[in-house]
Structure 1
Amino acid sequence: MHFTNLGQSGLNYFLLQSILAFISGLVFSVIYLQTGSLWYPIALHFTDDFMRTAHDTAATAGG
């Protein structure tokens, strides 16, 4: 899904986002392997997405 941003943003941002998504995937995988539960990685991914969306919305709104 992150590759869809290639046409919407610059190459540098796309590469940075792809690298960070890869690293996050590795971290989520390690958490899953340690806990045996998908709920922890799912909750962390949701929290990350929620915080980014809230930050982007606040920045767009000028706050």
Structure 2
Amino acid sequence: MPHFEFVKSSHSSGDGECVEVARNLPHTIALRDSKNPAGAIVTVGPRAWRAFPAHLARRR
């Protein structure tokens, strides 16, 4: 398994709704729930990662 260096998202709320992101490996962005660091890790490529905030903005 790759070694991901997770950091808490600056957009995470203060009420425990936190996402951690790792961008230390080339061509891979990893996400996990900070409340469950041993749980599932979702990985996406840079193109999908760039599309994510645009998708969220359209849903507002």
Instruction: Looking at secondary structure, tell me which structure has more strand per residue.
Output: 2
The verdict on a shared fold, with TM-score over 0.5 as the criterion, is: no
Bigger radius of gyration, 1 or 2?
1
Answer 1 or 2: higher relative contact order, Cα 8 Å, separation at least 6. 2
Length-normalised TM-score, structure 1: 0.37
Instruction: Looking at secondary structure, tell me which structure has more helix per residue.
Output: 1
